[in-house]
Amino acid sequence: MAKTTTGARTTTGTTISRDLDDLAAADEINRRLRVFRTEPATSAQLEALALAVAANLPVLLWGEPGIGKSAGLEQLAAGLGLPLETVIASVHEPSDFAGLPIVGDDPAVTGVPMAPPDWAVRVTALGRGLVFFDELSSAPPAVQAALLRVVLERRVGSLRLPEPVRVVAAANPPSSAADGWHLSPPLANRFVHLRWTHDPRTVARGLAGTWPAARIPSIDAARISGAVARARGAISGFLTARPGLAHHLPADAESRGGAWPSPRTWEMALKLLAVAYASGTGREALAAAVVGAVGDGAGVEFISYLEELDLPDPDRVLADPAAFKLPQRGDRQLAFLTAVVAAVQGDLTRRRWEAGWVVLAKAVDAGVPDVAARAAMDLAAMRDLGWPVPPGIDAFVDLLQLSGSL
């Protein structure tokens, strides 16, 4: 039987069936190429990403096009068992994040609710997930402004995203982004900024079928109290010594669109540090995450400060305060005493409160009562009225009476 063709398509049933078989075979090849295994990550950038996700902080991955930012997020979501919702920020309108007004029967009574988009409804219904905002630097300023509330308050229209939902974004540098824009300072200051690069050896091994997997840090529950107290002491001690770094808005637009220090980003650094202490996260990953929160200058200086600080575990000190020796350096003394007070506040009992005064008394014995003055006022404010006044408080009586704490 002769067969006729129209362009490249035949009208013979047998040939069409064969064409479909060929496409199915090609699809099978693609399916097999999508199958891969993972191995524990040895990459500091993957570990830093996992640290920030564990701390439930919004993360922004900066990298050139085509280096695997999107693929990395797909692997992260799969490894965590979280549904992934990808939203291409550059192709959306502000109302897609702020919500579309829906007029009801009587707006004067019911108001005008802002209807959320479908992706927000899906992750809210599931109660967990990873929302990935891609091409953020290609989104115009009006869209970036609408995203502020999503990132900061976790609200999309009239809907609040559940707490377990994580937010990660990706952006190309404005120089390589299609119609790129610098991020507005308010939006940039809400992210942990991570530089995303590619390792040729990782790419080669991944294309052979094995990719690294980012795993959430394993947190030791017994270390949580001490980790939180140590982190509070370190951040407070550093900013007391370097008050000029508490807030510094860069002068140029490019730097304002990245990481820079502010009270908000120092709070982010506090969360990162506490999770890192509780999980034993590596120094390189912690440094990348902290620098990604507060910027290069402040972050590098703070990491150097941490290396010299070497704070003891305040919970161990409170368990045996008599055996504790006060550090020699003033900045370490201040940071540690702040950590001790934070540890007492985190698990307030009479025994721990009295142990805190034994520690503060050592500052008086060392001839530096001024270093312990603020800590003494905070500790005195925690006293239960039924607890007797401990002997260690004697050196601070005048100060506490002036402040009204006694």
Q: Which tokens is 226 given?
A: 């001490």
80 or 188: which carries more pLDDT confidence? 188
Q: What does the pLDDT look like over 191-250, one tens digit per residue?
A: 999 998 878 888 888 888 887 777 778 898 989 999 999 999 999 999 988 999 999 999
Q: What is 108-170 written as a DSSP string?
A: HHH---EEPPHHHHHHHHHT-EEEEEESGGGS-HHHHHHHHHHHHH-EETTEEPPTTEEEEEE
Q: What does the pLDDT look like over 72-100, one tens digit per residue?
A: 788 778 777 889 999 998 888 888 888 88
Indicate the pairing of strand 165-171 with strand 129-134. Answer: parallel
Strand partners, 132: 86, 168
**DSSP one-letter code for 182:** P
pLDDT of residue 403: 47
**Does the pLDDT value for residue 180 go beyond 70?**
no
**Does the pLDDT value for residue 6 go beyond 60?**
no
pLDDT of residue 274: 96
Q: 266 with 235: CB under 8 angstroms?
A: yes
pLDDT-derived band at 3, boundaries 50, 70, 90: very low
183 or 9: which carries more pLDDT confidence? 183
Q: What does the pLDDT look like over 131-162, one tens digit per residue?
A: 999 888 888 888 888 898 898 889 998 889 99
- What domains can be seen in the chain, in order of their start residue? 59-190 (3.40.50.300), 221-403 (no CATH)
pLDDT-derived band at 312, boundaries 50, 70, 90: confident
**DSSP one-letter code for 302:** H
pLDDT of residue 401: 56
Share of the chain above pLDDT 70, in %: 88
Q: What does the pLDDT look like over 318-375, one tens digit per residue?
A: 999 888 888 887 778 888 899 999 999 989 999 999 999 988 888 888 887 777 888 8
Amino acid found at 319:
A
Q: What does the pLDDT look like over 191-204, one tens digit per residue?
A: 999 998 878 888 88
pLDDT of residue 130: 93
Q: What does the pLDDT look like over 261-292, one tens digit per residue?
A: 999 999 999 999 999 999 999 899 999 999 99
> How many Å is the Cα radius of gyration of the chain?
27
114 or 397: which carries more pLDDT confidence? 114
Tell me the pTM.
0.82
